Amino acid sequence: KFLNIMVNKIKEYICMIFFVMSFNFPSCCVQKKVDSPFLSIVKLNEAEQCKNYKIAQKYIDVKSVYSSVGSEQPEVDWKAKIDFFYNLSKDKRFSNHFGYDNFDIYQIKRRNSAKVIFESKNKNESLIKLVYVLEKRNGIWVVVLIDSVTQKKF
The per-residue pLDDT for 125 is 75
pTM of the complete model: 0.73
- As beta bridge partners, residue 140 has 137
Q: Where are the beta strands (DSSP E) in the chain?
A: 103-109, 113-120, 127-137, 140-150
Contacts of 101 (CB under 8 A, 6+ apart): none
The per-residue pLDDT for 142 is 96
Q: Decide if 145 contacts 116 (C-beta within 8 A).
A: no
Rg (the chain; Cα; Å): 25
The per-residue pLDDT for 137 is 94
Any idea what the Cα angle at residue 100 is, between residues 125 and 40, rounded to 5°?
A: 125
Q: What's the start-to-end Cα distance of the chain, in Å? A: 90
> In tens digits, what is the pLDDT along the chain, a chain of 154 residues?
666 666 666 666 565 555 455 555 554 555 556 679 999 999 998 899 889 999 999 999 999 999 877 878 989 999 998 888 888 877 777 665 677 788 889 999 998 999 999 888 887 777 788 899 999 999 999 999 999 887 765 5
